[in-house]
Structure 1
């Protein structure tokens, strides 16, 4: 239950074994990092699975998920401005709820980031096939483009996009942020193009009945599409590489959430307006938006443009979420809870090279062999748990350290963080029993790892793992 003092967490910010991280990221880059990690994850990949659950009311499901994310985002904004370091909710939990809870939070974040990247990589491969089919009339053989269980042996395209993101991350943070900025603007342009084409094929009859499954369907789809809001906290993982973290981190988190919510609602409305919700049976392909354009227009060129844009733009999700995971592992390693190799910084590039390579290898294996549906739900439950802990952390830190300077304060305290916890738990309940079993097994494995390694090597407890680190 030992907590790490906030002053010590902040003082150690940026420091790793062999060097320190470099502060290069502006408010625009931080905002687009969060947008890049969020926008596309659900709308490009999961919409086809959510529409059959809620019908046209899937638009309200996005709003429900957005409100849940908003309460969590307000808590994130306060803690990011108060504790501007790389560890995101792991570091916030360490300062407020104790080492064991922080470990569980960090362990859940590993599930969130690794699995979400893997899921998006699977979707990337589907859009690559859609583009090849529309442009050249051929597709990559299922044996090497689908995971086992989906008619394939190994998903090679998913591995390729992970390797591309790894290459950018190893070149440096500034270069990664610049590449992400270009990809995010491209992604927004592609989604606006989708809306422009889909709205021309819109039929009011497709929107009735609006909520055929009632509130239960809206809620179930909300639990599913919450996956599409994972990533708005990506800016909080860049606390040690932001130029002005206390000012920019809270602003970046709130701006990114506003941008992605507006785009999601617009795209969701355009999709269900252009194609009847009962036709959203897109089994065998995660490229749901491209299929909407095919069905709505009867032509191939709109879906070809969308698929090409998605191929390029979804890579930004892989890039930014992989970045977030490496920085959380960096913070955990600095605390001694995971091996030292994860905090070693390259003197030249000022990035954690070994950390990035290990993460890339792990994600590549997941993306290559696990089907998308299993990945989505496992990601959502780990994320919701971490978000709930952040909201609790705001309450604890307000009570234990009211003197800390806060560049942003959560409005309507304590109602806002309490609602954040309640909504996260509500959406967690909406996930399936198998997902809960996976979450329980993952958490149990994390506890075993903590008591076998983390507890004995903790720097806060005077362990040996952190020796030599600043």
Structure 2
């Protein structure tokens, strides 16, 4: 087999057959539709909305609302593409698996690398923000805070972010117990999260002043665009639904419903929170405002209890984000290990819990290190880059699979095809273009490292290589 054939070989769709997966003694189907929707909401709300306004509003002013709309449109276009692919190829691995079935092994490997970057880095970013809200809560309730040296990320007065490390360890311990138990706990925390954000909207709107919306776009459209690329970080997590493809009941129907349902809930809450926040506080005050939503409530009410309640809700609910992010990454590693792209240890499942325990330990350790020592702003932009690249590939995958497998059973089809996938790619490219220049450098270094691993290990150990299967190049 030539090098070009190796790079372009695709995993046959028959290999993704869900019943075959179950016979292999892999992951167990224990997650229902509502729990899966809550996984999508839990992975998304909290990844940015609790702290993103303090960085996005100074970039765009009150027009940050438009930035959220741009992010929501991009997420919606991609979510529709994810919904079709999850219904056609209902397996773990998210866009890595979809790329392997449509675009070939090398593209799949690079998408997998982007996903690993997305999940690991976003998990670390959330763990960092959790420590800030924990300090805010203890200050409001007890008048005490942890020293900044162990509570804040580097670059923000800290040296080692200890609370972030503790949070990652707790999430890993829960995930080791089983997917069903983790989904139940996540659902409870998501309900708390939504209730807290609803409280914020109600109280903030009571202090709404139309004058706070003027000037609406002080930085012009350039500021709106820059903020849109930043706040897109807040929409990351919807694709976590697709990582549960082998652990959800009736996947061809449940997966697309959960993705679309999660998107609707997330978009509604984000737009309401952004509108209420900029209406209750002058946009110039947001810069450098830690735990910004709590500060807004305290300014509106003149009392401490609403802010304390919001901080408590954030402390509890951000746990769900970290939980689902770690869950998603372990399932992606599981799929890559099963395909031979990573060592076999990543595809091992505990016979007792039905979960990839080894993956959980490895992922937890990596995320804990990132949370402890890497500055928060670097983490956010790197996450956006990795996610946008993966999203664009999913949209391309929809078109390719429609052409190559027009008769493949699909529980959902993208409306407005092929316009929607093309627009999705365009929006992703637009947001990537507006990311900071240094992010491109870090991302390029990550891709170079990924290519080194592929040519040094994955290409030779691929299951398709070991089976001596002919690559599927054309149809």
TM-score range, shorter chain: over 0.9
In structure 2, what is the equivalent of residue 61 of structure 1? Answer: 67
Shift of 1:435: 0.5
Structure-2 separation of matches of 1:337 and 1:206: 53
Structure-2 separation of matches of 1:16 and 1:218: 50
Shift of 1:154: 0.6
Shift of 1:150: 1.9
Structure-2 separation of matches of 1:70 and 1:357: 33
Could you tell me the TM-score, scaled by structure 1's length? 0.96
Contact 1:13 1:85 (8 Å CA) reproduced: no
In structure 2, what is the equivalent of residue 371 of structure 1? Answer: 375
In structure 2, what is the equivalent of residue 468 of structure 1? Answer: none
Contact 1:117 1:321 (8 Å CA) reproduced: yes
In structure 1, what is the equivalent of residue 237 of structure 2? Answer: 231
Contact 1:16 1:334 (8 Å CA) reproduced: no
Shift of 1:37: 0.2
C-alpha deviations, 1:379-408, integer Å up to 9, x for none?
A: 001100000000000011111111101111
Structure 2, unpaired ranges of 5+ = 1-7, 469-475
Structure-2 separation of matches of 1:327 and 1:341: 13
Structure-2 separation of matches of 1:88 and 1:20: 16
1:403 equivalent in alignment to 2:407:
yes
Contact 2:83 2:412 (8 Å CA) reproduced: yes
The 3 A distance-change label for structure 1 pair 148 and 12 is: farther
C-alpha deviations, 1:5-58, integer Å up to 9, x for none?
A: 1121225764598x3211011110110000000011110121211001111111
Structure-2 separation of matches of 1:15 and 1:49: 45
Q: In the TM superposition, what are the counterparts of 1:12-411 in structure 2 within 5 Å? A: 14=21, 19-282=25-288, 285=290, 287-411=291-415
Contact 1:45 1:120 (8 Å CA) reproduced: no
Contact 1:111 1:382 (8 Å CA) reproduced: yes
Structure 1, unpaired ranges of 5+ = 465-470
Indicate which of 458, 461, 472 corresponds to 1:457.
Answer: 461
In structure 1, what is the equivalent of residue 4 of structure 2? Answer: none
Structure-1 separation of matches of 2:292 and 2:455: 44
Structure 1 runs of 4+ aligned residues shifted over 6 Å read none
The 3 A distance-change label for structure 1 pair 275 and 16 is: farther
Contact 2:18 2:90 (8 Å CA) reproduced: no
Structure-1 separation of matches of 2:182 and 2:51: 23
Contact 2:76 2:263 (8 Å CA) reproduced: yes
Secondary structure at 2:413 match in 1: coil
Secondary structure at 1:461 match in 2: helix
1:8 equivalent in alignment to 2:15:
yes
Shift of 1:218: 1.2
Secondary structure at 2:47 match in 1: coil
Comparing 141-150 and 168-177, the one that deviates more: 141-150
Structure-2 separation of matches of 1:295 and 1:73: 37
In structure 1, what is the equivalent of residue 444 of structure 2? Answer: 440
Contact 1:65 1:222 (8 Å CA) reproduced: yes
Indicate which of 387, 408, 424 corresponds to 2:428.
Answer: 424
Structure-1 separation of matches of 2:380 and 2:177: 29
Structure-2 separation of matches of 1:344 and 1:8: 18
Secondary structure at 2:155 match in 1: coil
Shift of 1:4: 0.5
Structure-1 separation of matches of 2:18 and 2:44: 30
Contact 2:334 2:359 (8 Å CA) reproduced: yes
The 3 A distance-change label for structure 1 pair 306 and 14 is: farther
Shift of 1:95: 0.2
Contact 1:13 1:240 (8 Å CA) reproduced: no
In structure 2, what is the equivalent of residue 467 of structure 1? Answer: none
Contact 1:195 1:270 (8 Å CA) reproduced: yes
Could you tell me the TM-score, scaled by structure 2's length? 0.95
Q: Cα RMSD (Å) of the superposition?
A: 1.3
